Amino acid sequence: MNKKQKIGIIGLAVMIAAFVAFRVFYQKGAKLLADMYPWNYVALAIIVGLLIWYFLWAKKHGDDDKKVESDADLTQKKPLLTSNQIGLAAAFGGAAFAFRALGIAIPMVPPLIMDPGALMPCLAGMCGGPVVGIIVGIARGIPSGTPAVDLLVQPIKGIYWYFVWKQIIKIDNEKKRWVVFGVLTFLLQFFVEQPLCVAGNAFILKLYDFYPTWPITLGWYSVVYSIFQFVIFGAIVKAFPGLFGWRTNKKKKASAFKKTNLSDVKSICFRDPVSKKVASVTKKKVKYFKTVSNQIVKGADTDYEKLLKIYEYVAENFYYDTIAFATGTRQYVDPYRNLYNMRNKKKSENSEGGKVATTCVGYAAAICALARAQGIPTRIVNGHHISLSTTDGFHTWSTESDITELDHWWNECYVDGHWITVDATPGNSNKWNRSSKTWTYTGLTNYIYFDPTPEQLATSHMLLEVKGLK
């Protein structure tokens, strides 16, 4: 367990303790924070604001920890809660508690209400897993007027929605997925949640005798509540599909990544590191990419063979600018500029005598330009690359300080009907020291990151963003 996870666990424990203290020392039975008008609305605004902020943060950074769970070294013991799951538990747990403690609900026929807080354990289980669902269910049950029932029922909701949701998102057709989602929302409300609540009130609290005719007397409520539930679920899932693993059918085809002028990644590949201006991509430059690419792939028959030759060329000839990477400044990545200066032995801020230095973005940009010139769909991706070493040895995913840091760029290329990873940066150990003007040449050293298996890639790379999707 890393530092972030330890801090998050402590924070969750403090949050739950605060909830319990609130109930014991203030709530005193069914008394609600809503009695503290107008501070209830202030508190609600803060809670909702924090919840929206977390959703937006999660949407921006992606499902980082989910990626670690699926891609990380399988020899590493998976933590009980990732840092992402801890954030979800805190966000949904706080909302679940607040909605009930603040008395935010839609009244119906007494004592029936529509409580948005009751939906939080379900949503938490859907996007965070059963443990998160349980935590949020407990947070929802603490301020309840019937905690003996809700502390049992609400965590169960978080658990079963996790397992149901896993099956829903497996459905490939999005329209069919929505239909199944809606039907199951009703069925779970009618055949699971309502019976649990009725049984709990009858057998645990003994508020009334258990009546087997409840489907007739409360059937209408199950219908209305399931519609209410589905509308809210659908709106949140639609707003944050990545958080819930929801796939849309609007996937870009591989052909969308064949633009030879690199217009979809222009701001990345052609931005001057000093002036910050983005250079235009003229027909002359596109023609030059084609000319150079044709020379490089000469003798290759298939797209795979062509791509291999492009990888070898870039890995053989490019040098890594260590200072530019370390400082984050003067990273000359323009593929036209780099290729032209290198091949014509032009002297510039990052080239001399047929040698050119850049960072991983420059390697990826060159691969993209040369591969697309051959009609090979290629995209530029970035994410986190595991730290190479420490004084105590090599890093693992569990020892990384920040797995969300975007610190590496590479390529994905579409050949033989599927996307493969191509990362030319670690294919050599060529280095340029800007301070000493020292060029260290090794040439092509390995093919480790030319079409690695997903398992091989997962030991060191975590993909967080694909450029040019919008």
Domain boundaries, given as residue ranges, for the chain: 3-66+80-244, 254-466
The CATH topology of domain 254-466 is: C8orf32 fold (3.10.620)
pLDDT by position in tens, the chain (length 470): 556 556 666 766 776 677 667 656 655 544 454 455 555 556 556 666 666 666 666 555 544 444 333 333 333 444 567 777 887 888 888 888 878 777 777 777 766 778 888 999 999 999 889 999 999 999 888 887 778 888 899 999 999 999 999 999 988 788 899 999 999 999 999 889 888 888 887 888 887 777 777 677 778 888 999 999 999 999 989 888 878 888 775 556 788 899 999 999 999 999 999 999 999 999 999 999 999 999 999 999 999 999 999 999 999 999 999 899 888 788 999 999 999 999 999 999 999 999 999 999 999 999 999 999 999 999 999 999 987 655 555 677 877 878 888 889 999 999 988 999 999 999 999 999 989 989 999 999 999 999 999 989 998 999 989 987 65
Q: How many CB atoms lie within 10 A of CB 38?
A: 7
Helices 83-101 and 120-128, packing angle to 10 deg: 170
Q: What is the distance between the alpha carbons of residues 174 and 187, in angstroms, rounded to a whole number?
A: 20
DSSP structural state of residue 265: G
Give the pLDDT confidence score for residue 372 in this predicted structure.
97
Residue 451, sorted as left (phi over 0), alpha (psi -120 to 50) or beta, turns out to be: left
Q: How many CB atoms lie within 10 A of CB 279?
A: 15
For 78, the token pair is 């998976």
Rounded CA gap, 20 and 39, in Å? 20
DSSP 8-state assignment for residue 254: G
User: How many C-alpha atoms does 403 have within 13 Å on its Cβ side?
Assistant: 29
> Three-state DSSP class for 469?
coil
The predicted pLDDT at position 11 comes to 67
Place of tokens 């924090």: 50
β-sheet bridge partners, residue 383: 408, 463
Task: Spell out the residues 6+ positions from residue 470 whose beta carbon is closer than 8 angstroms to its own.
Answer: none
Cα 245 from Cα 240, distance rounded (Å): 9
* pTM summary value: 0.52
**Long-range contact pairs involving 47-54 (C-beta distance under 8 Å, separation at least 24):** 47/94, 47/95, 47/98, 48/95, 50/91, 50/94, 51/91, 51/92, 51/94, 51/95, 54/87, 54/88, 54/90, 54/91
- What DSSP string describes 119-137? GHHHHHHHHH-HHHHHHHH
Angle (CA) 450-455-461 rounded to 5° is 65
